[in-house]
Amino acid sequence: MSELGHHVDTTAKLVRMINQIARNLAHEKDPVGSVADHVHAFWTVRMQQQLLAHGPEGLDALALAAITRLAPGLARGR
């Protein structure tokens, strides 16, 4: 598989994963914060940056809000 094909497959997996996390944490008192905290704690910076670079396509609203909340820290390298 080409490097580009691998990148697309990985990004699609990240989109599925963050949407699943968002669905599981949607009931929390602060769902955006809960998803952002989970991603920050358990995902590598590279994974987070890859998802941010991907843009909003395919992201549930809650997942998009969480990755947007993480964006300033990712721009600074965390």
DSSP three-state, residue 28: coil
- State mean pLDDT over 49-75: 93
Domain carrying residue 62: 3-75
| pLDDT at residue 73 in the model | 86
> What are the pLDDT digits (tens) for 17-50?
999 999 999 999 999 999 999 999 999 999 999 9
> Residue 9: what are its φ and ψ, rounded to 5°?
-60, -45
Res 74 pLDDT > 90: no
With cut-offs at 50, 70 and 90, classify the pLDDT of residue 1.
Answer: very low
With cut-offs at 50, 70 and 90, classify the pLDDT of residue 2.
Answer: low
Q: Do the beta carbons of residue 71 and residue 27 sit within 8 Å?
A: no
Please count the structural domains in the chain. Answer: 1
